[in-house]
Chains A and B, each alone.
Chain A
Amino acid sequence: MPGEGPGRASANGRAAFEAALGLLAAGIAAWWLPQMLELFSIINATVYTAMAVLALSLALVWGFGGILCFGQAAFFGLGGYAYAVAALNLPDTTYAVPIAILVPSLAAAALGYVMFFGRISDVYMGVITLTVTLILFNFVNSTAGEEWRIGAAPLGGFNGIPTTPPLNLPGDPGTPLAPEQIFVLAVLCLGLCYALCKLVLRSRFGRVVVAIRENELRAALLGYDVRLYKLGIFTIGGAMAGLAGLLFANCVFVSPTMFSLAYSGQIIIWVMVGGIGTLLGPVIGAMLLQALTAWVGTLPEINPNLILGLVLLVAVLAIPRGLQPTVAGWLRRRLPEDAA
């Protein structure tokens, strides 16, 4: 982060400081924004925030773990569907929260185990994550019939599950959360995930993960079981994507598009534009690009995909390192006394 405090503060102190700053920013946004926005905008802002959590999950897995996952949307979708199905079956939707995080975590752990312990090369990892996402997309799409239900929850095929109940006040099933409260929850989740990423990356585990990205062979020759570390970071990323899915299910509703390649592709673009190897960048990238997509959609007589494609092309050419590194570098040049 640019403009951080005392130059010689220990790295751990700095990570804690940045984590706290992230939480503080989330707190302020959560308190202030609901007073400013009307309902439609609040729901939109909640979607943006959920997607920012999703971007953060891939920022961790790809930017720091060096694992390019083309299927982050799969864990997003699993989180959303796990929440919807559990919420429809349980009396108190609060209990659906751990399920919505656990299911995609387990899926990520299983997939990660096959990939990392099966010595699958990077290229095939891309193919496998892509394929798994496609399979899930097609499967969920084909569950339109009445026979496809889990307990009280019809899977609904391409229609998704519009009847998903939102979260209620913990312990009070009669009181569902209002959209403003869901928004506050989403912003706090984003702040917490950011803080969690910061702390994970400062821990020994996180530093070994980054070292593995830098040089897998050297990490192994120093006695680290590379496969376990990759599995660990991949699973954390799956859990975080699942949380994003849960939030999404609470402001829109779950449908097979959550598993779509279009989503998987977008997440990659958010991280790329934000800056690979950064956390704040992908969060901002996700927000900016969603806002841009929404705006372009309102323009008459122009193909929105064309505009978006053009913007992306320009972004990649103009700021190849991504938003955060570019802005940080610019700030450092403007404030030379800040460079240690």
Chain B
Amino acid sequence: MSVLLATEHLTMRFGGVVAVDDVSLSIEERELRCLIGPNGAGKSTFFRCLTGQYRPSAGRILWRGEDITGLEPHQIARRGIGIKTQVPSLFDGLTALEGVVLALRRQHREREARRRALAVLERLGIAELAHRPVGLLAHGQRQLVELATVVAPAPDLIILDEPTAGMSAEETAGTAALIRDMNRDHAIVVVEHDMQFIRAIARKVTVFHQGRVLVEDSAEAVLADPRVHDVYLGRPPEARQAVPA
């Protein structure tokens, strides 16, 4: 399989804090990768570098072999990288439908964009929210609307930073199904703390710790790894109990 995205020695410093430290990692076409790690491990910062929100202090980012380090966020987005940020990033004053239509409007004409937007909202089970202003929705619903906005234009790489936080069990199950479904023709990187969710969807898991890659292996192997267990001690119980002692 060919490599879709690769980082080489990617590093992001904030003054004395090294949030991402010499990370070399690669994602293949149509891969489904889980990223885990305790709070402050550098996962979100890593994504901000990938999507052009931060300019990395050192290292390179390669997209299908092309160096995209230092490009503007919109330039990176146009190559086919979409991200659902950890804190939902939405057009609060617009309706869910208006936002998703805009996500599609670069590639499609109005009528087609609308048709596809409605289909995505339907697929995520939030068609009834289509005409509601996003700013008035509950947190879990906002997560779903953002998910719809990100997956609608079908980027080749979809980054999901804690997509199920604040969702009901039902919504979480729906999201897992969607991720598996999307994975048939898109590469996906997803950050999750819910180990059941990880077992359900991931083949390969990368563990971040203090800005570095601690382990990278199959889900089973990673979840059994004592180092991962150590790193996660002190995390909330749902994460701890999921790591076999």
- Chain A residues within 8 Å of B, Cβ to Cβ: 204, 207-208, 210-211, 213-215, 217-226
Contact = CB atoms under 8 A, between A and B. Distances in A.
Contact of A215 (B73, B74, B90, B98): B90
A183 B89 CA distance: 47
B11 interface: no
A143 B89 CA distance: 51
Contact of A221 (B51, B92, B99, B105): B51
A218 to B, nearest CB: 5
Contact of B94 (A214, A220, A222, A224): A214
Contact of B78 (A204, A219, A223, A226): A223
A214 B99 CA distance: 10
Given A204-B105, A211-B99, A224 B74 contact: yes
Contacts of A214: 90-94
A223 B92 contact: no
A221 B93 contact: no
Contacts of A223: 74, 77-78, 106, 153
A274 B110 CA distance: 32
Contacts of B92: 214-215
A218 B83 CA distance: 9
Nearest to A277: B93
A210 B94 contact: yes
Contacts of B98: 207
Contacts of B91: 211, 214-215, 218-219
B93 A222 contact: no
Interface in B102-131: 102-103, 105-106, 110
The 10 closest A-B pairs by CB, nearest first: A223-B77, A214-B91, A220-B73, A223-B78, A218-B89, A214-B93, A220-B74, A225-B74, A211-B91, A222-B103
A12 to B, nearest CB: 8
Nearest to B77: A223
A14 to B, nearest CB: 14
A27 to B, nearest CB: 30
Given A218-B149, A221-B82, A224-B106, 8 more contacts: A217-B53, A218-B89, A221-B83, A221-B85, A221-B89, A222-B77, A223-B74, A225-B74
Nearest to A213: B93
Nearest to A12: B110
23 contacts: A208-B102, A210-B93, A211-B91, A214-B90, A214-B93, A215-B90, A215-B91, A217-B53, A217-B73, A218-B149, A219-B91, A220-B74, A220-B77, A221-B73, A221-B83, A221-B85, A222-B149, A222-B153, A223-B74, A223-B78, A223-B153, A224-B106, A225-B74
B148 to A, nearest CB: 12
Contacts of B105: 204, 207-208
B163 to A, nearest CB: 15
Nearest to B53: A217
Contacts of A222: 74, 77, 82, 102-103, 106, 149, 153
